[in-house]
Structure 1
Amino acid sequence: MDNPVIIFGANEMGKAALEIFESNGVVVYGFLDDDAAKHGQELSGVSVLGKTDDDGFLKLIGKKCEGFIAVDDRELRKGLVKLMVERRKKMPVNAIHRNAEIATSAHIGHGNFVNNGVVVGSNAKIGNHCLLNTNSTVDFSATLGDLVQVGAGSVIGNEVEIGDNVFIGSGVTIVSGIKIGKGARIGAGSVVIAEVKANATVFGNPAKEV
């Protein structure tokens, strides 16, 4: 990536994204955040410039800078994606840690957060705006929809199909070939051995609907 990046979100995830970009030698121009109390402060030496809808900085995206959205609240994340696409006609870039292992045959969409130690296997497909946290694994030929959040240390087995807007807690195991419906939530530490319906919440070993 040749251009500097503006990070939306001056928070802990924003600091993690900063580390990812710096690990790849990418310059971070600054942060944007709607909390006015943070404006003018610095995170790890990088300034919080202003609000997320500040045209003075938004106009840089697509010209001199790229944008990345470091927000884990799904609705806020969707809103910021919409802001960037509508105002700047640009999709957010990916933040992929240099210590992540991505198979050359894997497909990665836009605006994804891929942290340290993540493994994405051959022919896996990751949609847009997903969060793959530390040491999570997406095995070969698995498919993730858009806005999927995968907790630290979770294992998505081969050929698993995960719909949009799914939340997967830390330390979850989803065995091979399972389908997870849109909007489902899987509690931390669960072992999923059967299909999960859309919008269901499951927990336990084996995971059951709650």
Structure 2
Amino acid sequence: MDKPVIILGAKGIAQAALEIFNSNEVVTYGFLDEDKSLHGTEINVVPVLGHTEDEGFLKLIGKKCEAFVAVDDNKYREFLVKMLNDVRKVQPVNAIHKTSFISSDAAIGHGNFINSRVGLGTAVKMGSHCILHTGAIIDHQADLGDFVQIGAGSIINSGVKISKGAFVGSGAVIVSGISIGKNARVGAGSVVISDVKDGETVFGNPAAPIKK
């Protein structure tokens, strides 16, 4: 990446995103965040410049800078991505740690956060704006939709399909061939041996739906 990057968000995964760009010798121009108390502060000597919707800084994106959206909350993440698409006519770049492994025939979209020691196997398909935390394993032919989040150390086995907006907690195991529905949630440490419906939350070994 030739241009420096502006990171939208200065909390949660933002500092990890900075480390990822540092690992790839990409210059981070600064952070933007909606929390005014952070403006004028620094994260590892990189300044928090202003608000995520500050046109003065946003106008740099696509011309002098690239952008990466480092926001954990999916709704706000989607809002910022749409703003970049509509207003700046750009797609956020991927943040991929140099210690991760991505198969040569895996296909990934835009704006994904892929932390250290993540593995993406043969023929994996991953959409855009996903968050894959440290050490997650995505085995061959798994299919991840947009805005999916996978916790640290989770194992997504071969042929698993995870739909848009789903969340898989740290250390979970999804056995081969399972489907996880849109906006579903899998609790940390769970072992999922049957399909999870849209919007459903499951937990345990074996994972079972949590009654609301």
Normalised by the length of structure 2, the TM-score is: 0.98
**CA shift digits 1:106-128 (9 cap, x unpaired):** 01101100000100001001111
1:161 aligns with 2:161: yes
1:10 aligns with 2:10: yes
Q: CA deviation at 1:163?
A: 0.6
**CA shift digits 1:107-159 (9 cap, x unpaired):** 11011000001000010011110000000010000000010000000000001
Q: CA deviation at 1:56?
A: 1.0
1:69 aligns with 2:69: yes
Output the CA distance in 1 between the equivalents of 2:37 and 2:193. Answer: 46
Q: Tell me, which stretches of 5 or more residues in structure 1 are unaligned?
A: none
Q: CA deviation at 1:171?
A: 0.4
1:65-104 aligned within 5 A: 65-104=65-104
Q: CA deviation at 1:183?
A: 1.1
Output the CA distance in 1 between the equivalents of 2:40 and 2:96. Answer: 27
Aligned match of 2:45: 45
SS at match of 2:81: helix
Aligned match of 1:170: 170
Output the CA distance in 2 between the equivalents of 1:29 and 1:88. Answer: 17
Aligned match of 2:182: 182
1:144 aligns with 2:144: yes
Output the CA distance in 2 between the equivalents of 1:148 and 1:71. Answer: 13
Output the CA distance in 2 between the equivalents of 1:207 and 1:84. Answer: 38
SS at match of 1:21: helix
The number of residues matched between the two structures is 210
Q: CA deviation at 1:12?
A: 3.6
Instruction: Tell me, yes or no, if the aligned pair for 2:12 and 2:72 is still in contact at 8 Å.
Output: no
SS at match of 2:13: helix
- Amino acid of the residue matched to residue 15 of structure 1? Q
Which of structure 1's runs of 4+ aligned residues deviate more than 2 A?
none
Provide the identity percentage. Answer: 58
Q: CA deviation at 1:53?
A: 0.9
